[in-house]
Structure 1
């Protein structure tokens, strides 16, 4: 593991001390510096460091504002370094690994750095496991589709403990959840590492209908449809789940709400 580290502090001596302590860790490959908050945001986006040592009281933008900035495009692991203790609660609300009070010695720094290394290693392991799970599921689903007609009769999904095969006819609803989707049937919720648009293309459009940017429902699982407002409807499914359609999808659901399936 080779790390990129950014030190954001307006005090040259503080940056020098942290930089010298970092030489004790062979995992650290490169060290960069920023002397104010705006520069810190720019450097974070440009360099995408693995670890950020962040002072709080800095010119132009303080450390808390750096992490809250709408312009921040990368989220490194963070250790706050400051002479002020009143920001500690806010720092941990922002998921900081540690809060180093200045002046700190080499021993305190080492303890903080070791916590950071452990968290980064766990994060890398989690990312690796998720990528492997995605590749495995994609491969198994491709095998199924190659042996079937145009639309698969089952999907390979996972829950927290195991890989499962579920029948597409038994799917009630599919919900977008960030970089993956949740597939809901009578057994619960299962993950599939695809976007909702990707899975929509693979399913039979006569059975599965996109009714919202975040939802696809199984038309055969609809119990009733109730009007809501502004061309929106509530779809009641056989598992008692209620899914609201989006206004921009009124054309896609016109046949459903008018009984012309």
Structure 2
């Protein structure tokens, strides 16, 4: 059985693809998402084998979304687009395949046969992944939001996921601490924490060899002994 997820901001396009996939007895559609932020969460939660992904979507494009997927959860990516130039871009970004809208059933059949016969997903995130993120996609109080890096004070993990904290709000992101450390200027200060150096008001040294950061908004962030020296070096503290 081939498990699939559909991510497209246009409901008619999702319905069309679902109807075509419903005729395939060995394809099971796990769900559908109307934007890339919901799609990112669904990929990490459902772990589909293939994602049919629209390229042009508001706020976060399909190409940008692929670069944010945890490599351990990377599915086959089949880009779905109405524009030939984007299809060419999809190949440059190491997609498994692409389909042009409106979808030709025979072309879809070829893609599915390729997937059934062992097509391999990209072994690494696409080249766009080396760019620094300017915003972090989050879910907060049943709302989807993008939090700008400049406003983020720190990020940490807890039992519910990865929490992104600013002075005024907080959200949960599907991005891992590893991806956030690689794709932003947030600094590791603890196994479970990254901090924005621009939001540090003071650092209190503790008797156990660790420290505690006080942010400009008054929040406290732990610094473990393992990362204290690195933090001091980045802040040019002797």
TM-score normalised per structure 2: 0.47
Q: Higher relative contact order at CA 8 Å, sep ≥6: structure 1 or structure 2?
A: 2
TM-score normalised per structure 1: 0.43
Which structure has the larger Rg? 1
